[in-house]
Structure formats: structure tokens, C-alpha cells
Amino acid sequence: MTKKLLLSAVLVLFVTFGFSQTKEELVAQKAEKQAEADAAQAEADAIQAQIDALPGWRVGAFGVIGGSFSNFSNWYAQGAPNNSSGNIGFTVNGFANLIQEKYFWRNALTTNLNWTKLDNKDIDTDSDDFEPTTDVFNLSSLYGRNLSKTIAASALAEYRTTILNNFNDPGYLDVGIGATWTPLENLIVVVHPLNYNFVFADNDAVFESSLGAKIVADYTRQIGAVGFKSNLSMFQSYKSGDLSNWTWTNSFSYTLWKMIGVGFDFGLRNNKQEALNYALANYDPMTAPEPTFDNVDNDLQTYYTLGLTYKF
């Protein structure tokens, strides 16, 4: 019996020792292969950087898709026990840039659209349709002739509006000339002291076109699985500060698997003409004075979208 126990113990130690050796060998092999893969990836990144530096077109896009749906029946703990709700939204950021030795032509598209539904099944007066809530559309085209490695004489056309509700009411078209500074590969700063801001709207008493200065700053970069884009667009009217406006949009994405990941978008805007137009459409003359540029509450406009992303 003692011999059997001793033999079993020796066998267990032998198997354990052999397994340990095999595991250590596998770990060493994995480290070796990982080092080879890292070296190959670094070489591939260097080649890609050389490709990116060549003249020609750069085209790409990424976006955020978010959505949720729910349905309640006889859920008496809430005010509307029978209801269905849902939210659908998506963002698309696309670009098509032609980079040449003596000039460049950069084109960008940004959209953020969102629909929401809240249907109380116990009443007939509410809507059971998805109603648009977030509505952003921005299209820009920048052409420049290089004066040095970082400075270029440039011309910009930028159009902003909503497309689900009140298309082109208001709509903004900036057209101007000036200079573009590119201190970094992914950073573009546009300064156009001669710019005309065309405003299209039915309410001519509030919305007015004017001459002013245009400033745009855009930073777009992809670092591994992380991609982000930040864009600031400002117009300073020479006629009146009431006609000035700015919009700052940001997009972040993290790729989890192949082309799918998670993303977060948020935007800020300040536009006194839009604030006054909204106040005039919703004020009650029996309870408040008529809104004007002098007394309107020009609150900061904001939006955000969180959801899945798909890299095109």
C-alpha cells in the first residue's frame, strides 16, 4: 500500500512538472510571437504613414447609431400604464480630402439625426409616430493654395441647416476668403476676415445676413481603435453681435470588434437669432412682453448621442 501511494505521488509530481514546463514554453513562444507581431505592426504603420503622406485623395467616414424601444401594459405604478416608447438616432462624419503638393481641397459632412416616440395607448390625442428631435446638418468645402508648409491662402464655403424640420429655415451659408494654418497634420485652423454670412429664413425681421469674420478649427485623428473629431465654427458679424453665432461639435468612437464599437457625440451652439425666433413663436402676449434681441434668453444649445458605432 505504501509503495502504491509513493508511486502515485511521484506520478503526480512528474505530470505537474511536465505541465509546468509545457506552460512556460508556451508562454515563451507567445511572447516571441507577440514581439514579432508588434515589430510587423510597427513596420506596417510606418508604411501606412508614407502612403498617407503621398499626394491624392483621402476618403473616410464613421458614425454613431443609438436606439432603444420599450412597451408597457397595465404597469399601474406609472402615470401612463399602457404605453410604447422608442428612440432612434445616428451620426455620420464623412470626409473627402484632396492633398497635393501646391494645393488642397478638403470636404466634410456632419449629420446628427434623432427620432423619439412616446405613445400613451389610453388616449387618442398624442402621436404614435417617431418625431424628430435632434436635427443637425453641416457641409463644408475648403480650398487652399500653399504659401508655405503650414500657411495657405484659402476660400471656404460652409452650409448649415436642419433637414427633418424647417429645412433651410433657417439655413446659413458662409462664403469667404483668408488664410488656413495647419500646424499639425490633423489640425486645421481657418481664419477668414472677409466672409459673408447668408441667412435663409421666412422670418426676415429676425434673421439677417451680414458681413463678418469666419473662424474654423478642426481636429480629426485616429489612434489605434480610438477615433475622434472636434470642430468649432464661429462667425463674428461686423454689423452686430446679435447676428454672430458659433457651433462646437465633437465625436468619439472606440472600435471593439472589427468595424463595430461604441461612440459618443455632443454639440454646443450659441445663436441669438434662433433664440429670438423661438421665443417669438412661443410667447404669450398676455403674460410677458414681446421678445427682442435686448431681452431674449439666449440659452446655450446642447445635444448628445450615445450608442453603437460603425466605421465605414
Structural element, H or E, at residue 50: helix 2-53
Span 31-56, pLDDT tens digits: 888 888 888 877 776 776 666 666 78
Q: Are residues 11 and 93 in the same domain?
A: no
Write 129-137 long-range contacts (CB < 8 A, 24+). Answer: 130/86, 130/88, 132/164, 132/165, 134/89, 134/303, 134/305, 135/162, 135/163, 135/164, 135/165, 136/110, 136/111, 136/112, 136/162, 136/249, 136/267, 136/303, 137/110, 137/111, 137/161, 137/162, 137/163
Predicted local distance difference test score (pLDDT) of residue 189 = 97
Which residues of the chain are under the pLDDT cut of 50?
none
Contact 294, 285 (CB under 8 A): no
Would residue 178 be called left, alpha or beta, if left means φ above 0 and alpha means ψ between -120 and 50 degrees? left
The CATH number of the domain holding residue 109 is 2.40.230
Give the end-to-end CA distance of the chain in Å, rounded to a whole number. Answer: 70
Domain count across the chain: 2
Contact 156, 175 (CB under 8 A): yes
Contact 261, 297 (CB under 8 A): no
Span 226-246, pLDDT tens digits: 888 899 999 999 999 999 999
List beta partners, residue 176: 156, 195
Predicted local distance difference test score (pLDDT) of residue 225 = 85
Q: Are residues 38 and 163 in the same domain?
A: no
Q: Are residues 88 and 230 in the same domain?
A: yes
Predicted local distance difference test score (pLDDT) of residue 16 = 53
Domain hosting residue 195, numbered range: 56-311
Q: Are residues 6 and 127 in the same domain?
A: no
* Domain C-terminal end among 35, 54, 73: 54
Statement: the pTM of the whole predicted model exceeds 0.85: no
Residue 87 cell numbers, joined: 428612440
Q: Are residues 301 and 275 in the same domain?
A: yes
Q: Are residues 25 and 64 in the same domain?
A: no
Q: Are residues 76 and 149 in the same domain?
A: yes
